[in-house]
A and B are shown apart, each in its own frame.
Chain A
Amino acid sequence: MKEFSYQRATDVEGAVALLDADPDARYLGGGTNLVDLMKTGVERPGRLVDVRELPLDRIEPTAEGGLRIGATVTNSDLAAHPEVRSRYPALAEAVLAGASGQLRNMATVGGNLLQRTRCPYFTDTSLPCNKRTPGSGCSAATGEHRNGAVLGASAHCVAVHPSDMGVALAAFDAVVSFETAEGSGELPLADFYLPVGDTPHRETALPQGALITAVTLPPAPVAARSRYRKVRERASYAFAIGSAAGALDVADGTVRDVRLAFGAVASHPWRARAAERMLLGQPAGEAAFAAAADAELAAAQVLEQNAYKLPLLRNLVVSLLTELAEEAAR
């Protein structure tokens, strides 16, 4: 591990000033991803600014009727929070589907959004990877890519974003608040992650040195009936090979409102807007759910080893929305 200096920030202004003055500095949250990557040399900061003691650890209702989640709220506290479980259950389920109890106690909401891909070539510094070393090539495209992206990828990178939490946040139109030395700003999650293109090393639209301070969920009555479903290669404690967050409002057998987002399919949590558009006003049922999944996946491009993801996602969508529709009918 490269040597680094360490400072514990006590206020947001001070933390942001430290990163503004030192481009080699990084914020340290729970450290569950950053410290791991520093051990292997993938991340090599010269300075860590510990933000865990900043007063950003609260979950508060907003005036509009949504929830504002502080950036240093731990995954555990987010998933245990009564308002989250009651009003956005898919978010609690998504968080609980990720990592282990130990890691959820450490990991923060802000860090979750900024975690790096688990593509095996990104984490192996002996092999080419455009995300880690721009211009070096993508080892996954011709190598092991069973968990590679099927949507929005490019020839330069096929890595998927590993977050479960982010999938639910994408479904519920979360907005990311941040602070820089120049002032504060906001980014809807839909604009937070950059398209892969030929710059897979540039992952977010956050300005240099920005500190995520909160994630805000707008009010969404439909979210009260929502679920997160995750498929992985073992029963627990593994990254998704496909996942979906869904919310459904059905009246008289007709889809009145719907939210759908996919995980482990792209470089960022994937909001399935084509599927949502197709479902509105349709009779709630397996045929419509399957057609909506197909519409979303029409743009998919599979690699040699990951074509399984298309039927996997189609089945996920059908079973998830069917379950929600049956709950609505009860």
Chain B
Amino acid sequence: MAPATASAITLKINGEHHTLTVDNRTTLLDALRERLGLTGSKKGCDQGQCGACTVLVDGRRTVACLQLAVAAEGRAVTTIEGVADGEQLHPVQQAFLDLDGYQCGYCTPGQICSALGVLDEHAAGWPSAATGDVRPEAGPPPLTPEEIRERMSGNLCRCGAYVSIVQAVSQAAADPARPATGTDPKEPAA
């Protein structure tokens, strides 16, 4: 008998468990959108190049279009639908609203999920390609507009709302009320 090409899996999305059977070819993005009705994550390029499908998996931003659903089993997935606290918008969402960090809005869920990851990664002291000196003795890099642009470069905006997006991420970073997103860019293994 040929080995099974479908799998019964349980996905943990925004704290809820969903049990479903998927063809192994199903990406996490298609499982979210087509099987679970979570259409906030958008399909832009479907090739990992645009960032519209960005979600957090085990607290880290990833592109759901290159993640197989079957490989996401057992991992905690946070989509844009799980970012707000009830009716209370997350400070990153509020900052995008306050500063018009979008035009058509199609890339926005991915931008916001990516920004959540950026803020946690920066808080954990991760350098970026815009960091002048990556050595730990140089200290953590300040989150300058240049740093934000580099760290957010995996999210394209065809409307070109980049100026406001950078401002929104900057404002959210400075918000003392910003809760932990449940993300934990874990300390690298010693």
A interface list, Cβ under 8 A from B: 1, 3-6, 8, 28, 31-32, 35-36, 38-39, 47-48, 50, 52, 57-60, 70, 73, 76-82, 85-86, 89, 92-93, 96-97, 99-103, 105-106, 235-237
Contact = CB atoms under 8 A, between A and B. Distances in A.
A59 B24 contact: no
Interface string B43-87: 000111001001000001111001110110000000000000000
A35 B27 contact: yes
Interface of B: 2-5, 7, 23-25, 27, 46-48, 51, 54, 60-63, 66-68, 70-71, 114, 117-118, 121, 124-129, 131, 133-137, 149-155, 185, 188-190
A107 B78 CA distance: 19
B5 A106 contact: no
B136 A6 contact: no
Contact of A101 (B2, B4, B114, B136): B114
Contacts of A77: 188-189
Given A1-B25, A4-B24, A5-B24, A102 B70 contact: no
Nearest to B2: A5
B63 A106 contact: yes
Contacts, number: 138
B68 A80 contact: no
Nearest to A94: B129
Contacts of B136: 82, 85-86
10 contacts: A6-B71, A28-B71, A35-B66, A36-B47, A81-B188, A85-B136, A86-B137, A96-B134, A99-B154, A102-B117
A237 B155 CA distance: 10
Given A36-B66, A100-B51, A236-B153, A58 B5 contact: no
Nearest to A5: B3
Given A3-B24, A36-B48, A105 B60 contact: yes
The 7 closest A-B pairs by CB, nearest first: A100-B154, A5-B3, A236-B153, A3-B5, A58-B189, A105-B60, A237-B153
A79 B66 contact: no
Given A32-B48, A59-B188, A236-B149, A102 B126 contact: no
Contacts of B60: 76, 105
B163 to A, nearest CB: 15
Contact of B61 (A8, A50, A52, A102): A102
Contacts of A73: 189
A133 to B, nearest CB: 21
B5 A85 contact: no
A47 B117 contact: no
Contacts of B150: 235-236
Given A80-B127, A102-B114, A237-B154, A52 B23 contact: no
A274 to B, nearest CB: 29
A80 B51 CA distance: 22
A92 B66 contact: no
Given A3-B5, A4-B24, A39-B47, A106 B67 contact: yes
Contact of A50 (B51, B71, B190): B71
Contacts of A85: 127, 134-136
B4 A5 contact: yes
A96 B129 contact: yes
B188 A92 contact: no
Max chain B Cβ within 10 angstroms of own Cβ: one of A8, A57, A85? A85
Contact of B127 (A39, A48, A92, A103): A92
Contacts of B118: 101
A255 B154 CA distance: 39
A101 B70 contact: no
